[in-house]
């Protein structure tokens, strides 16, 4: 069931979203050669709690995993697509890319966003992958108009990504957001325009292109959380939480 939000509920989510964005901005400054992903996780949790929020991911449980997620953020380097557990032993290296996903709960409502950061100087291939993934998110957000359909978002993302020679992950999707981090509807990054649930005022969705430099197949790591590209290619991830309003799409994961 798709739960539409009131203006007051959307404002609460926007407050959570501002903390998400502030956290990502902080971490972007701290993503440097020699830093561990565990250090980034500690900084993120301290920041989120200092703003009155709760790290939504910490303790999150998913069927098929053997333990709750232990981090405040997901930190996924290089060929790891998503769901990377922050680790003391994972030191960032020159040329790495790192996808960071942040969720914050405030006043009972969730906001969720992700960005992929460069560690020092990265390859031209990696730069292009990040640019294409970020632009595909913007194109998906632009489709968030009353009367359009989820498939319009999906098609906008997929067509742009594939026209640039990359692939979108198909086994993981965007989602509705509200009191729960994952609500209906699912928002795939591939599909046909004009198909799927109609976008209506008050819907709030997380659009999150996960784009691989190689094929779209992925596999689960030994810890049952991390997801990797099957062919070892680089992967990038960008995400916003977006409300459908009469004035068009409202990105909630920005600074107010």
Q: What local confidence, expressed as pLDDT, does residue 256 receive?
A: 62
Answer yes or no: is 110 within a domain: yes
pTM over 0.95: yes
Answer yes or no: is 216 within a domain: yes
CATH code: domain of residue 134: 3.90.230.10
Answer yes or no: is 1 within a domain: no
Answer yes or no: is 256 within a domain: no
Three-state secondary-structure class, residue 150: helix
Q: What local confidence, expressed as pLDDT, does residue 215 receive?
A: 98
Q: What local confidence, expressed as pLDDT, does residue 44 receive?
A: 98
Q: In which element (H, E) is residue 99 found?
A: strand 97-106
- What's the structural domain count of the chain? 1
Q: Show the domain range for 23.
A: 7-251
Q: What local confidence, expressed as pLDDT, does residue 149 receive?
A: 98
Positive/negative CA dihedral, 16, 17, 19, 24 = positive
* Whole-number Å distance between alpha carbons of 138 and 136: 5
- Spell out, as residue ranges, where the chain has pLDDT lower than 50: none
| Residues 102/19, Cβ–Cβ less than 8 Å | no
């Amino acid at each position: 069931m798709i739960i539409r939000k009131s203006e007051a509920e959307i404002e609460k989510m926007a407050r959570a979203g501002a903390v998400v964005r502030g956290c990502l901005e902080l971490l972007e400054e701290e993503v440097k050669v020699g830093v561990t992903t565990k250090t980034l996780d500690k900084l993120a949790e301290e920041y989120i709690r200092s703003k009155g929020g709760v790290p939504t991911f910490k303790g999150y449980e998913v069927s098929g995993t053997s333990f709750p997620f232990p981090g405040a953020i997901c930190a996924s380097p290089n060929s790891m697509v998503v769901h990377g557990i922050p680790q003391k032993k994972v030191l960032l290296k020159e040329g790495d890319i790192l996808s960071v996903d942040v969720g914050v709960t405030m006043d009972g409502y969730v906001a969720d966003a992700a960005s992929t950061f460069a560690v020092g100087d990265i390859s031209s291939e990696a730069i292009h992958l990040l640019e294409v993934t970020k632009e595909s998110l913007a194109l998906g957000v632009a489709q968030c108009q009353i009367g359009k359909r989820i498939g319009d978002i999906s098609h906008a993302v997929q067509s742009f990504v594939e026209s640039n020679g990359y692939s979108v992950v198909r086994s993981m999707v965007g989602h509705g957001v509200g009191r729960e981090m994952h609500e209906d509807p699912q928002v795939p990054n591939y599909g046909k325009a004009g198909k799927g649930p109609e976008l209506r005022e008050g819907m709030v969705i997380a659009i999150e292109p996960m784009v691989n430099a190689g094929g779209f197949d992925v596999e689960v790591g030994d810890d049952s959380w991390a997801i990797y590209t099957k062919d070892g290619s680089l992967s990038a991830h960008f995400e916003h939480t977006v409300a459908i309003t009469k004035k068009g799409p409202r990105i909630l994961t920005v600074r107010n």
